[in-house]
């Protein structure tokens, strides 16, 4: 049972969602946008999250989009991970994202978890962001000051940097990135469902590797400095990998019940090696 | 505590209920509707014991608000009668304590609603959504295969998987 009370409103349009947010705010009500809601429900049940109102963005047509316009793929933030994995277009349109989100949670949970929810969640892994980071995706945001489009790199710095009242409506990704050769790997402590020790999404573009990682630190990231080392093809592979790993401050590497810091570093090393081999950069 | 009147379509019937917006579907099904087939397990979206079918897709009812389900078709284990998967579970002894069984059956039933020619990796992928602490996984997978064969045997010849016209 969720021990707090909150008001639930389903918004039918972007404008209505913004209007509702404003209305709740002026009534001094703490408000959250709600999409899949899995994390909100879980944390509220554990007294780790409170709010006076939630605004469900699932009914908003713009947040349910899955279409290609002028070689850009637009994905609505309220699409469930299952909708992304099962959409007939996705295996050609953005196979890396399809593969990556298919590894998040389990089959039934993916019917509820949404793309936007995973990106904005408190969970430290947020693996749906990895393909967007390597593909330089753009994020379409709505808020009290209107609509805007921001680079994922500008809006996602460890967590989503949304201002009060803003929410993600869509993600846009160019063909040149989403159709590039890709590799995805997720290493868990055990089994096929669960959090990653290391999760990596990578593409090869103009003979360079783009790679983003989750599970290594308490936030997903893409590091250009790491990529620079990994792409130094005149150096032996092991040296490129060791130099790339050195970039991560040791104290930032997670050391928890899933894996010790040293084991995580070992897994990262093998993941980077596999990535370079799979993308023909070894 | 503010309560609101909502109508949920459950097992073929409209049920008008007075709920809090913060009530989960699991709590409403069990405490207000008396439908105790969906079980509270982890209440965290992990174990699948609370799985119900909404619009022909399986959902963990502990991580869905009841209010989200308004306007949708909800089916609980109580609404599933004489289905091939139920008979197959009994024939294959696909349970021990039985606590997880309704969740497994609803998940498996939803899978078979989608397709009756499912390969092993797909069965495994769907089953990973549920946990059986008695570890009856092999028997559960056998029950799914049995239900799938029964359903395929009952299909018209031209609709069977691998028939020349499919």
Q: Which of B59, B125, B126 sits opposite A112 (nearest CB)?
A: B59
The token pair at B44 is 């965290």
- With contacts defined as CB-CB under 8 Å, which chain B residues touch A4? 22
| Residue B38 predicted with pLDDT over 90 | yes
Ordered by where they begin, the domains of chain B are 4-79 (3.10.20.30), 84-158 (1.10.150.120)
- State both tokens at B95: 């349970």
How many CB pairs lie under 8 A apart between chains A and B? Answer: 78
Q: Nearest Cβ partner of A106 from B43, B57, B128? A: B128
> What's the CATH number for A7-56?
3.30.43
Chain B residues whose CB is inside 8 A of the A56 CB are 68
Mean pLDDT of B99-117: 95
> CB B67 to CB A8 under 8 A?
yes
Calculate mean pLDDT across residues A59-76. 97
The Cβ of residue A186 has, within 10 Å, a number of other Cβ atoms equal to 24
- A5–chain B nearest CA distance, Å: 6
Burial A72-92 (b: 16+ CB within 10 A, else e): ebbbbbbbbbbbbbeeeebee
**Contact residues of A toward B, CB < 8 A:** 1-2, 4-8, 37-38, 41-42, 44-45, 54, 56, 58, 82, 105-109, 111-112, 191-193
- The partner residues of B17 in beta bridges, in order of sequence, read B6
- A-contacting residues in B 48-107 (Cβ below 8 Å): 48, 51, 57-60, 62-65, 67-68, 107
What pLDDT band is residue B159 in, cutting at 50, 70 and 90?
A: low
Which residues of chain A have a CB within 8 Å of the CB of B57?
Answer: 82, 111
Q: What is the pLDDT of residues A210-267, one digit of tens each?
A: 999 999 999 999 999 999 999 999 999 999 999 999 999 999 999 999 999 999 999 9
Q: For A138-186, write each residue's pLDDT tens digit.
A: 999 999 999 999 999 999 999 999 999 999 999 999 999 999 999 999 9
Chain A residues inside the 8 Å CB shell of B128: 106-107, 191-193
Can you tell me the distance from the alpha carbon of B125 to that of B32, in angstroms, rounded to the nearest whole number?
Answer: 33
Return the minimum-mean-pLDDT range out of A7-21, A50-64, B58-72, B151-165: B151-165
Closest-CA residue of A relative to B53 is A108
DSSP state at residue B122: H
Domain A180-278 has CATH 3.30.390.50: yes
Pairing of strands B73-75, B57-60: unpaired
Residue spans per domain, chain A = 7-56, 61-177, 180-278
Instruction: Give the H/E segment covering residue A82.
Output: helix A81-86
pLDDT score recorded for residue A268: 98
Cβ neighbourhood burial of B156 (10 Å; 0-12, 13-18, 19+): exposed
Average pLDDT on A90-118 reads: 97
Q: Are strands A66-69 and A31-34 parallel, antiparallel or unpaired?
A: unpaired
Q: Which of A145, A168, A165, A144 is nearest to A155 (CA)?
A: A168
Model pLDDT, residue A74: 98
**pLDDT given for residue B162 in this prediction:** 56
The whole-number average pLDDT for the span B132-140 is 94
Across the interface, whether the CB atoms of A106 and B129 are under 8 A apart is answered yes
B165 — pLDDT class (breaks 50, 70, 90):
very low
- CATH class assigned to A61-177: alpha beta
Question: In this structure, are residues A161 and A150 in contact, taking their beta carbons and an 8 Å threshold?
Answer: no
Nearest Cα of chain A lies from the Cα of B107 at a distance, in angstroms, of 8
Residue A221 CA to residue A124 CA, distance in Å, equals 11
Tally the residues of chain A: 282
**Would you state the pLDDT for residue B161?**
62
Q: Is the pLDDT confidence value at B158 over 80?
A: no
Residues of B (120-159) whose Cβ lies below 8 Å from A: 124-126, 128-130
Rounded Cα gap, residues B56 and B43, in angstroms:
22
A186 forms beta bridges with A199
- Given a cut of 90, whether residue B99 has pLDDT beyond it is yes
Note the pLDDT of residue B156.
75
pLDDT of residue A281: 78
């Amino acid at each position: 049972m969720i021990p707090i009370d909150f008001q639930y409103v389903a918004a039918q349009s972007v404008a209505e969602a913004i209007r509702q947010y404003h209305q709740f705010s002026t009534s001094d009500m703490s408000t959250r946008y709600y999409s899949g809601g899995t994390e909100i429900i879980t944390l509220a049940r554990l007294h780790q999250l409170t709010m006076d109102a939630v605004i469900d963005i699932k009914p908003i047509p713009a947040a349910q989009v899955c279409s290609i316009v002028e070689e850009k793929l637009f994905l609505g933030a309220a699409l469930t991970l299952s909708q992304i994995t099962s959409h007939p277009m996705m295996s050609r349109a953005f196979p890396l994202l399809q593969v990556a989100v298919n590894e998040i949670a389990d089959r039934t949970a993916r019917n509820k978890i949404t793309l936007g929810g995973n990106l904005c969640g408190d969970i430290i892994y947020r693996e749906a962001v990895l393909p967007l980071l390597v593909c330089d995706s753009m994020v379409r945001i709505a808020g009290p000051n209107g609509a805007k489009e921001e680079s994922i790199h500008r809006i996602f710095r460890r967590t989503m940097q949304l201002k009060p009242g803003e929410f993600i409506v869509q993600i846009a990704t160019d063909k040149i990135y989403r159709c590039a050769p890709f590799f995805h790997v997720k290493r868990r402590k055990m089994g096929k469902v669960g959090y990653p020790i290391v999760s990596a999404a990578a593409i090869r573009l103009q003979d360079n590797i783009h790679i983003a990682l989750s599970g290594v630190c308490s936030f997903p990231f893409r590091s250009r400095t790491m990529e620079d080392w990994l792409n130094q093809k005149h150096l032996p592979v092991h040296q490129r990998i060791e130099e790339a790993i050195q970039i991560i401050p040791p104290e930032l590497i997670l050391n928890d019940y899933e894996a010790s810091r040293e084991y995580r570093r070992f897994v990262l090393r093998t993941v980077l090696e596999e990535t370079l081999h799979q993308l023909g950069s070894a | 505590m503010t309560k609101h009147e909502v109508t949920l379509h459950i097992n073929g019937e409209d049920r008008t209920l007075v709920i809090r917006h913060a009530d989960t579907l699991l709590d409403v099904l069990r405490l207000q509707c008396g439908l105790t087939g969906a079980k509270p397990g982890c209440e965290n979206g992990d174990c699948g014991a609370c799985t119900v079918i909404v619009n022909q897709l399986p959902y963990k009812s502990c991580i869905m608000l009841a209010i989200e389900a308004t306007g949708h078709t909800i089916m609980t284990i109580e609404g599933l009668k004489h289905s091939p998967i139920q008979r197959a579970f009994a024939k294959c002894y696909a349970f021990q304590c039985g606590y997880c069984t309704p969740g497994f059956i609803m998940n498996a039933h939803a899978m078979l609603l989608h397709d009756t020619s499912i390969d092993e990796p797909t069965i495994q992928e769907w089953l990973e959504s549920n946990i059986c602490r008695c570890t009856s996984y092999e028997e559960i997978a056998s029950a799914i295969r049995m239900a799938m064969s029964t359903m395929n045997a009952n299909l018209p010849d031209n609709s069977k998987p691998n028939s020349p016209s499919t």
